[in-house]
Chain A
């Protein structure tokens, strides 16, 4: 595609429900990143994929959070038993090969509101 696509753009869910957030990276990009942006907190790194494997899961805040990537393309971030503190904008980015010489392109994010 032309850019990184995230869906849905907005999601309102009830506390305790599970949600799935989707990221379609730019075609051919092997590296994919998930970040969380909360008000006043900047961008918090969650997880990084190189191909289908996740060499760095250090940022996942709890075991309620998980992510997978299939076919080296689409990624899904799943939050189980959502809590109000999970409310944030979840950003996905992809880059050609994950090295410092390649630019990371960001999607417009999914705004999650837990009520």
Chain B
């Protein structure tokens, strides 16, 4: 069965600094990978997805994520953090074929002025 590990339940960065949110997965078949964001008191919103096309996926607001099969990773980065990036971020994996998304435990990003 597939699984996701997000290293760091809480990441704190200064405004303008690099943001790195880590995600490692386990899957018995080529995976489909996703990043979701959750703002306080709101539902989850899809930010990025990898479905076997380009390994570098670009999302909104300058975030991007890179699929590395050799490292079983799908880390998410942004060169310069903004205050509005503060939220909780979830990485998820699916094995396709109508299997449900399996989520990591989430990483809460704080941005310090």
Contact = CB atoms under 8 A, between A and B. Distances in A.
Contacts of A56: 99-100
B46 to A, nearest CB: 5
Contact of A100 (B9, B32, B46): B32
Given A42-B90, A91-B43, A103-B49, A31 B98 contact: yes
Interface residues of A, number: 25
Contacts, number: 56
A45 B100 contact: yes
Main secondary structure of the interface of B (DSSP, over half): loop
B96 A100 contact: yes
Given A33-B101, A42-B103, A108-B43, 19 more contacts: A4-B43, A40-B105, A42-B105, A43-B90, A43-B103, A45-B101, A48-B98, A48-B100, A56-B99, A93-B44, A93-B101, A99-B98, A100-B51, A101-B51, A104-B46, A104-B101, A106-B43, A106-B44, A108-B42
Interface of A: 4, 31, 33, 35, 40-43, 45, 48, 50, 55-56, 91, 93, 98-101, 103-104, 106-109
